Structure 1
Amino acid sequence: MLKNEELIRFGVSFPASLLEQFDQYIKEQGYTNRSEAIRDLARKAIIEPSRLNPDDNVAGVIIMVYNHHISDLPIFLKNVQHEFHHDIISTMHIHLNHTQCLEVVVVRGKLVNLRSLHQQIQVQKGVFYAEMSVTYLDDSLPGDQL
């Protein structure tokens, strides 16, 4: 929220049981009031990848867990990342145990390209988990306002 942005008050009706669960949620998350929690939930809903235009510039991460013993999977993952090198900022590779690896790929680019990268990863045999999380990137703002 911008410094001088006007706050508008509005009412929200909840069933008692849902409000009780929501109050427990905001307590667990460390919010000091319901308004802060509702604002964050609204922001999250607005930047949901399904609401973004495929040509929007976004930044985010692709997180994957995979079995590195599956033949050619590590080679495929390395090659597909090379194909998308313009969209990949950084990667972090962690050995979880003898079989599983966790990889975090930091990405920035057109949503359509990043969806393609994510899809190519998630359908591979031996990839247990692959999730992409992105946020809208406003390239028109100066760096200090991002």
Structure 2
Amino acid sequence: MANKEALTRFGVSMPEDLVNQFDQRITQQGYTNRSEAIRDLIRRSLLEPSLMNAAQPVAGTIVLVYDHHMRELPLTLMELQHNYHHDIISTMHIHLNHDQCLEIIVVRGQIHRLRELTNHFHVLKGVLYAELSVTHMDGHDSGTAHEHT
């Protein structure tokens, strides 16, 4: 079992109305105390892709929603994915309705390449949504088998 991290206590001042709204939200989400909710918010903010070091190795997803009736868009999306095949682990394609498709692209690599790929998607006409979500990953090759303890 890993050693527990040392905890640091600090105070935060907020308007009462904001605290009440926060308490309602964290109760709905199942938190039993503010500390863990605040820790999760801080962890999430540290994973903001636009703030990470360009060479940071990460794993995550790119989520796309697009109009598949846009001329050549599906082919352009596929071509982009082929251009970044070293960074793409897997994809899932879902038909949302008659006009829209949802694509979930599982990625792993340096954050600058994944941001670049997401930006390529984002600017295409017919792409309604393109968002990169990541988590930290150490620099070791994660493509090999490993043992869980």
Establish whether TM, by shorter chain, passes 0.5.
Answer: yes
Alignment of 1:58-77 (within 5 A): 58-77=58-77
- Structure 1's consecutive aligned runs of 4 or more residues displaced over 4 angstroms after TM superposition are 140-145
Letter in 2 for 1:88: I
What SS does the aligned partner of 1:40 have?
Answer: helix
The question of 1:119 aligning with 2:105 is answered no
Structure 1 gap segments, 5+ residues each: none
Q: 1:64 to 1:37 in 2, by over 3 A?
A: same
Deviates more, 1:84-93 or 1:38-47: 38-47
Alignment of 1:1-146 (within 5 A): 3-139=3-139
User: 1:90-112: per-residue Cα shift (whole Å, max 9, x none)?
Assistant: 00000011111000000000111
User: 1:61-109: per-residue Cα shift (whole Å, max 9, x none)?
Assistant: 1001101111100000000000000000100000011111000000000
Cα RMSD (Å) of the superposition? 1.8
1:15 to partner: Cα distance:
0.8
- Write the distance in 2 (CA, Å) between the matches of 1:144 and 1:117: 31
Letter in 2 for 1:78: M
What TM-score, normalized by structure 1, do the two folds share? Answer: 0.92
What TM-score, normalized by structure 2, do the two folds share? Answer: 0.90
What SS does the aligned partner of 1:4 have?
Answer: coil
Letter in 2 for 1:17: D
1:12 to partner: Cα distance:
1.4
Q: 1:138 to 1:4 in 2, by over 3 A?
A: same
Deviates more, 1:67-76 or 1:132-141: 132-141
